[in-house]
Structure 1
Amino acid sequence: MPRKAAQVSEADKHAAAGGAIAVDRALFVLSVFRLGDTALGLAELAQRSGLYKSTLLRLLASLEHAGLVRRQSDGRYGLGPEVARLNAVYAASFSLEAVVMPALRELVRITRESAAFHVEQGEHRLCLYRVDSPQPVRDHVRAGELLPRDRGAGARVLRAFAGESGTLYERIRHEGVAALVGDRSPDLAGVSAPVFGPGDVLCGALTLTCPASRYREDFRVDVLHAARALTQALGGTFPDSIADNASAG
């Protein structure tokens, strides 16, 4: 009789409803590789995935056959060449707008305030994408407009995660979010969080803006969750401290 696991593995916790268990487990094995990992032994893979070594060996055989992992001479496993090929295909077909705009629309739907995606542009920051609040009273920044690089929640986040020193920027890096009232304009409030891409490179800042009178503290959680989801969609990973703050919210 096959041995039953004493508890549900991490792989099975992340299984797709109605999906194929073996496929879910194999894909989860790939997901346990982290930035900086060159190769992992069977024991480390078992610990991270929560799978029995016997199960892992069968999954790894299939992944190796597909070129998704490569078994090294010392018996450890690293990612295979097929991962690089798929990444090249994805990068060639990738559209930032197609990923960012739905995230902005969803944030506006939840908060009923304006959402934007900012990137650094020389001595300024650029409002690359924007979705307006459905409410008549709002700020009127448009996509393509240049804004100050040293004022506003989006600017503060971009500078913080570019390594700017100072108490404010240290707090933003620790909390993962900037929530400011009157920083760019006395009548406006902004909440912003960083968005990361592959290699955990800073891609930009996801920013919610509203009249100061409509600011709510729970916007911090909304923006953090949206930025974390967008980071995942872009193939990045939030730093652990930020992920913990978002979960705590």
Structure 2
Amino acid sequence: MSVSHVRSVDRALEILTCFSSAHPRLTLTELAQGVGLSKATTLRIAGSLLAYGVLRRDEDGSYRLGTRLLELAPVAAKGSPVASVTERIVARLAERTGETVLAAEIDWRDRSLVIIQRRDAEHVLGVLSPVGRRSLIANGCIGKAALASLPRDQVVELMPALRLPRRTDRSITDTDAFLAEIDRARERGYSVESGEFAAGVAGASVVVMDKGQAAGAVAVIAPVSRCGTRRLTAIGELVRECVSHVAAGR
């Protein structure tokens, strides 16, 4: 069945998607250039978005995303197809580890993942992965877990399209080394990282399956200072166990 589009709605959504963590504040000219519209048309659409609170305007005339989106984010997160499953897993892992726990939904259409739940530990953890943050599947523990759910030949095919950013001096950016890391994660049933996504932060992650495909992932992240190799392995095995038990209805 074909899906019809309302052009004005498409344009409004295109304006909203111009914003990103790298560009949280945009001028009217930048918005118009981003969506390929005239400044007059962009201004009219932005006016409607301002009225609904999904955009806000600073004193200098530049635009930011509006706080109305913060109200909608938790609603959208709970609407995730894996939200009910990951919610139980996140609660168990937070209780059993005392560490920060993240849950993400995987979107294979554009090879991205979005954080849908976060349960913080009592200590402050220096990694910014708020609910609603979307990023491309890459060389963090959640990205590794997602890729490890695929057969190796599919991962090899995907490699040219993947970005392996050097976030820290421990990030794995070499293709062969990264493939070997994915192979190890597939064998173990969980992925790990230590100081690769964020300096001083370690993590372990396992995917949540739905209809034979990885639909989401859960990760426990903790400071490297108290998460050496032995504890990271134990956490990885615990995440795998919790995911398996919840998936089996236990």
TM-score, reference length from structure 2:
0.50
Which one has a bigger Cα radius of gyration? Answer: 1
